[in-house]
Amino acid sequence: MSQGEVGVAAGALPYRITRKDSLHLMGVEDCFTPNDSEKIAGLWRRFMVRHVEIPNAINQPPLALARILGPDTRFDYLCAMQITAPTAPPNGMIQRSLPPAEYAVFRHAGPVTSIGQTYDRIFNAWPVPGRHFQMPPVMLELFLPKFDPATGDGGVEIWVTLVPDEQAR
């Protein structure tokens, strides 16, 4: 992973630009709307019981992959562990791979129940000339080492895939 520029978006939202190599994930996925925070919490509970079944898991905190499905803001949400290489998932789980990409990385410091407010700020204040968010957006939620799943506090990084201006059209 390479570190790039850092800055502050309109509305004092700090970010950094970074590159990440291919990413292989395995976990449980469902489709949600922005008002489904309780259902997402249920998916996390289901995942945390089963995450020990994941083959080739990298010893890191779990993460989430969110992919917007269309203009109605429905999204797929995958609770996952990063794995070393693609492999067949256990029954009821899926495996997804992401190609190498550049990301804008933002920090959400409040409880996860208010993460939607951070997403609103991210998508309403993007400032970097020459880059746009991939459309439809692909986002990763990386839980920081001090994150406490019992309270939902401790911090989350939100990684949003970027593309150069000429690819954003």
Closest alpha carbon to 66 in 54, 50, 80, 77: 77
Residue 135, C-beta contacts closer than 8 angstroms, at least 6 positions apart: 168
Residue 83, C-beta contacts closer than 8 angstroms, at least 6 positions apart: 24, 25, 26, 54, 55, 56, 57, 58, 95
pLDDT, tens only, 40-66: 889 999 999 999 999 999 998 899 999
Structural domain of 83:
2-167
The DSSP call for residue 50 is: H
Q: What CATH number corresponds to the domain at position 45?
A: 3.20.80.10
pLDDT, tens only, 78-96: 999 999 999 999 999 999 9
Query: Measured on CA atoms in the order 135, 126, 155, 56, is the torsion positive or negative?
Result: positive
Its pTM stands at 0.86
Number of domains in the chain: 1
The position carrying tokens 């994941």 is 54
pLDDT, tens only, 136-155: 888 999 988 888 777 778 88
Helix (H/G/I), strand (E/B), else coil: 160: strand
The predicted model gives 94-120 an average pLDDT of 90
